[in-house]
Amino acid sequence: MSTVSIYRTEFLTFSTHGSMRRRKLQRLSLSPAVKMDSKSFERVKKEESSIQLQTSPIPQLENPRPSNLRFDRLQPSDQELDQDHRLEFGRFVAREAVLDEEFWTAAWLRAETHWEDRPGERYVDNFKRQFAEQEFNAIKRRYSGQHGQTYTCVVTVRKEERNVKRTVLKSVVGTLDFSIRHLLHGESFPGEREKHMFCSISRTNLNKYVYVSNLCVAKSARRQSIASNMLYFVIESARSKGVEPVYVHVHRNNEPALELYEKIGFEMVEMANSQLLKQEMFLLCFKT
């Protein structure tokens, strides 16, 4: 009788935050008893412990999406929304988002845009769902008016068509955020004095400005002037509120975006280093 040593296969498990936990190799001993005669060959194994096969788990979200959302909800008609401030162009309408389902779809578009250059990455769908959930909750928090800012989530939806019913998920094709903020004392543009610890906010109408972020358009709806018309919507909204100017940060290497903003009339104010994104960005300004 002999003893054979084998090793359990090592597996890696991943958490939803990307951390790894490694399971150590466990040594098992097998004691095979061999009995032979002229007619047959019999082998009997006596194992000291059992071996269980395991598979690498796919990260799962505890709450993949808010449970009160209705993903079969139809896009409301213009009469139901009764919004005066809207911008119609071609087959689309740019307006403020009003439904939670619109907020969720806007968050999902941002998740797809964030991950679209990494389609082959493992578990990318799970990471997109997590990103969308976090962004949805962030949108809801921004509407609470934190830090004295007035926040608006803009969506572009497909126009109503006779005898055509669409869900909210299939109707929203573009989104961006804009907020009305105040410059700090002594600032001539946002971020000029951000390194100073004790800078108070100057809450006067003369120091108000509009800041644009999170602009993205669904792949299937690009090249139809959706991004530019959402920006025109923001500019008109700023004018109607008596606020100027409009600012936006753009990645230095994002040439299509830079061309878009330049075409609309934005001008570069300064080059800034994003500590969060670890890359250089341009601060652009549009004077209303």
For residue 220, give the nearest of 257, 176, 171 by alpha carbon.
171
Catalytic residue positions, numbered: 261
The structure tokens listed for 105 are 């779809």
For residue 208, give the nearest of 240, 243, 249, 242 by alpha carbon.
243
Q: Are strands 87-89 and 92-96 parallel, antiparallel or unpaired?
A: antiparallel
Containing 85, the helix (H) or strand (E) segment is: none
Residue 209: count of CB within 10 angstroms of its CB: 20
The DSSP secondary structure of 100-135, one letter per residue, reads: HHHHHHHHHHHHHHHHTT-TTSTTHHHHHHHHHHHH
